[in-house]
């Protein structure tokens, strides 16, 4: 089931009644309701919004990811369920005991898919995949030759121009890319928790200050989908230089965008769930290959 993404920008009070999210907007008499079981993500942007404790409990029972924005309206923190799967303790042990060769093989699959999706984005956006298809075929175990970095240098210059530098604090549209990646990261973390995995234990990322290393690993092949959305928005709004409310709302549609999953088409949100489930199966020894979604060209 495709879950809803709710975006709150007005002062309001959120509570729960009869398994329904109740939204009481400041200055309005009539409250609005949404079934909690239909919600997948909530983005809280307004600083004058409050949530009741019973609502938080019900949101966590339904594995809803809640993203909180800071005073500058940028995503800053996230609320996730700590018990997302009934086999969680066993899956944690399998994840923690994963061998180094297994993790290197999983990372190889991840990077191959990422570069393939980057080539599909270039094909769709510019009509030329450059040399990325051949680079994808050269990825070794653990990406020991850093084909990911080589692909990135080619990819960004072909997508946004030779002067563009992808940097978190760089010039526009870096801020838009950052916003999309944060949404994608939250969605990936939610999917991992739902599969009983611990987002902190990565297969490649190992920063001790990062609580979402595995989410950062598994979102890599899906980053190009954010890039494509940003490219399209950049073409649609060529004079855009700030993250307006309407632009953010369009960015949140990313989670319902279609991707190619084997022989079928799935919303990105569902693809992330399939990816996380396949990763858990790999840790269990039930599968050898991860299941990723691909950009539709």
CATH of the domain at 27: 3.100.10.20
- Closest C-alpha among 121, 74, 129, 100 to residue 242: 74
In a domain, 151, yes or no: yes
Domain end residue (candidates: 52, 79, 106): 79
66 contacts: CB under 8 Å, gap ≥ 6: 41, 42, 44, 56, 59, 78, 79
Domain end residue (candidates: 79, 100, 135): 79
121 and 263, same domain (yes or no): yes
pLDDT at 293 over 90: yes
- Tell which wins on pLDDT, 152 or 5: 152
In a domain, 133, yes or no: yes
Number of domains in the chain: 2
Give start and end residues of each alpha helix (H) in the chain: 53-61, 88-96, 100-126, 132-136, 147-160, 174-194, 213-218, 223-236, 245-251, 268-284
Give the whole-number percent of the chain exceeding pLDDT 70.
97
pLDDT, tens only, 103-122: 999 999 999 999 999 999 99
pLDDT at 36: 94
pLDDT at 208 over 70: no
- Average pLDDT of every residue of the chain: 90
pLDDT, tens only, 233-291: 888 887 777 777 788 888 888 988 999 998 899 999 999 999 999 999 999 999 999 99
pTM of the full structure: 0.86
In a domain, 290, yes or no: no
| Beta bridge pairs of residue 102 | none
171 and 256, same domain (yes or no): yes
63 and 105, same domain (yes or no): no
In a domain, 118, yes or no: yes
Is residue 162 exposed (0-12), middle (13-18) or buried (19+ Cβ within 10 Å)? exposed
The domain containing residue 43 runs over which residues?
Answer: 4-79
pLDDT, tens only, 13-62: 999 999 999 999 887 878 899 999 999 888 998 889 999 999 999 999 88
Residues 82, 56: contact at Cβ < 8 Å?
no
92 and 67, same domain (yes or no): no
Domain end residue (candidates: 79, 106, 121): 79
22 and 141, same domain (yes or no): no
107 and 213, same domain (yes or no): yes
113 and 72, same domain (yes or no): no
CATH of the domain at 144: 1.20.120.920
178 contacts: CB under 8 Å, gap ≥ 6: 74, 168
Question: Max alpha carbon distance in the chain (Å)?
Answer: 62
Cα 101 to Cα 284: distance, rounded to the nearest angstrom: 15
193 and 278, same domain (yes or no): yes
32 and 133, same domain (yes or no): no
48 and 149, same domain (yes or no): no
100 and 54, same domain (yes or no): no
For residues 172-197, average pLDDT = 90
């Amino acid at each position: 089931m495709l879950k809803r993404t709710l975006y709150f920008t007005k002062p309001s009070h959120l509570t729960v009644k009869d398994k329904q999210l109740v939204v009481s907007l400041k200055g309005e008499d009539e409250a609005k309701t949404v079934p909690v079981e239909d919600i997948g993500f909530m983005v809280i942007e307004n600083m004058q919004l409050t949530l009741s404790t019973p609502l938080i409990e019900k949101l966590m029972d339904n594995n809803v990811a809640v993203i909180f924005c800071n005073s500058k309206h940028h995503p800053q923190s996230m609320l996730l369920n700590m018990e997302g799967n009934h086999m969680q303790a066993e899956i944690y042990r399998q994840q923690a005991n994963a061998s180094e060769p297994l993790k290197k093989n999983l990372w190889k699959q991840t990077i191959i898919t990422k570069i393939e999706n980057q080539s599909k984005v270039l094909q769709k956006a510019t009509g030329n995949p450059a040399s990325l298809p051949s680079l994808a075929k050269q990825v070794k175990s653990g990406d020991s030759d850093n084909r990911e970095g080589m692909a990135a240098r080619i990819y960004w210059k072909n997508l946004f121009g030779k002067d563009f530098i992808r940097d978190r604090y760089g010039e526009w549209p870096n801020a838009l890319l950052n916003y999309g990646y944060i949404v994608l990261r939250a969605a990936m973390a939610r999917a991992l928790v739902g599969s009983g995995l611990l987002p902190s234990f990565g297969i490649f990322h190992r920063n001790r200050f990062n609580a979402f290393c595995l989410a950062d690993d598994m979102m890599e092949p899906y980053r190009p989908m954010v890039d494509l959305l940003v490219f399209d928005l950049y073409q649609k709004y060529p004079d855009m230089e700030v993250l307006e409310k309407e632009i953010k709302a369009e960015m949140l549609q990313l989670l319902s965008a279609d991707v190619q999953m084997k022989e079928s088409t799935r919303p990105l949100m569902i693809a992330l769930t399939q990816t996380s489930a396949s990763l858990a199966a790999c840790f269990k020894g039930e599968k050898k290959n991860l299941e990723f979604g691909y950009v539709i060209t």
